[in-house]
Amino acid sequence: MLKRWRQTVTWTDIVVWAIGVAIGIAIIVGTIRTWQAGQYTAEQWINLTISGLKLGSIYALIALGYTLVYGILRMINFAHSEVFMSGPFTAVFLAKYLDSIGFYNTYPLISLILITLLSAGVSITIALLLERVAYRRLRFAPRLVPLITAIGASFFLQYTFRGFYGNDIETYPNFDFLKGTWTIGSIAIPKTDLLVIVSGFMMMLILYGVVQRTKTGKAMRAVSEDKEVAALMGIDVDRIIVFTFGLGGASAGVAGILYALIYQNVHFYMGFIPGLKAFTAAVLGGIGNVVGAWLGGTLLGLIESLGPNLFLQGLGIPAANQLKDGIAFTILVFILIFRPSGLLGERISKTKA
């Protein structure tokens, strides 16, 4: 037994495990010390949790795009962060126009639907263009080739949109009906946050339903299992791939509007960091898995929001909040080491393109 153990475990494993354990202890010690210090009230923890959930919902919606495309094509579509940026950065001009003619706050629901449709429409268009122009010809190329193409496409899109709309930060006008808070029990939740959290969850359910319950979803799963056999069974593989990109684009476009409702400011570079985080979330949840993407996004948002105040501050680290991205990416590294398939594993089995 011991001998077998000694044969299979390498020094690298031991070092990695030791680091993992050390980080675990640091987290526990930090958390205990923060609780003992009692610096924050329960209300503040609840607020941080809500803010983590809303951030997580946005990561989750973007992560769905990564996950769907990965499930089908086994490629990371790194230009997806620009699909996310293109929608809200275009719809902001419609929102501003509606605001200037006074329509925006007179018919807020219609306005919200209009800008969401425009945002989703633009994001879908960009996603489909990407698929047609950048990826389709490379479908049978080695895996590294479409990956690098994706990075190139990402820069191309960023600077194209900068060319269209300029460098400046554009700002969404506020919806009056989203100001203030709703009180559930004794907890006051900002209306915008609740809207974002609920829409994120709904969107995940819808996508899950599409993949698991519809005929097209069945075809998607078939294509992801084996493209050739799926084609033999009469499935139009191209059409399914286009549909998948469209679905990812739509969820990115909706995510963009939710992002804009919270943070208001949009600019050509806005997709980069959320895109990276969403990719982390997708890997965390298990890439290729719709529920996993939502779970990963939500967890990541929570960790980012609670982490610095919860355990870094307890460890006496000054200015802990600037390390929140550090926490997120440390998690990514550790998942890749300890559980490469993510929390919910990779649903679609072994076949590699």
Partner 1 sequence: MSKRILGIVSILMVLSVLLVACGPKPYECTDSIGCVTVAPDEPVHIAYAMVIAGPDATLGIDSRNGAELAVDDHGGKVLDHAIKFDGEDDGCSAEGGQAAGTKLAADPTIVAILGTSCSSAVRVAMPLWSAAGFTVISASNTAVDLTLAGNENQHPGYLRTAHSDAVQGKAAAEFAYNKMGFRKAATIHDGSIYAEQLQQVFADNFTALGGTITAQESVDPNQTDMSGVLTSIASGAPEIIYHPIFIQAGTQIVRQARTTSGLENVALMGADGMFSPDVVEGAGDAVEGVFVSSPDFTTFGPDYEAKFLPAYQAKFGSAPLSIFHAHAYDAMNMVLACVEKVTVKDNDGTLHIPRQGLRDCMYATKDFKGLTGNLTCTPTGDCADPKIAVYEYHAGEYPPTKIWP
> Is residue 165 within the footprint of partner 1 (CB under 8 A)?
no
Quote the CA–CA distance of 121 and 133 in Å, as a whole number: 18
Supply 66's token pair.
């990564």
**57 to 76: interface string for partner 1, x by CB under 8 A:** --------------------
Supply 45's token pair.
């923890």
Q: Which is nearer to partner 1, 169 or 202 (CB)?
A: 169
Contacts of 158 (CB under 8 A, 6+ apart): 82, 85, 268, 269, 271, 272
Shortest distance in whole angstroms from residue 37 CB to partner 1: 10
- Span 267-306, contacts to partner 1 by CB under 8 A: 267, 269-270, 272-273, 304-306
Sign of CA dihedral 167, 323, 49, 338: positive
Q: Which is nearer to partner 1, 214 or 322 (CB)?
A: 322
Residue 323 carries which DSSP code?
G
* Pairing mode, strands 187-190 and 170-171: unpaired
> Is residue 225 within the footprint of partner 1 (CB under 8 A)?
no
- Span 230-269, contacts to partner 1 by CB under 8 A: 263-265, 267, 269
Quote the CA–CA distance of 282 and 288 in Å, as a whole number: 8
> Is residue 319 within the footprint of partner 1 (CB under 8 A)?
yes
> Is residue 167 within the footprint of partner 1 (CB under 8 A)?
yes
> Is residue 156 within the footprint of partner 1 (CB under 8 A)?
no
For the chain, the first-to-last Cα distance in angstroms comes to 37
Quote the CA–CA distance of 251 and 256 in Å, as a whole number: 9
> Is residue 10 within the footprint of partner 1 (CB under 8 A)?
no
The residue ranges that bind partner 1 (CB under 8 A) are: 39-40, 43-44, 47-48, 51-52, 55, 162, 167-171, 173-174, 190, 263-265, 267, 269-270, 272-273, 304-306, 308-309, 313, 318-322, 324-325
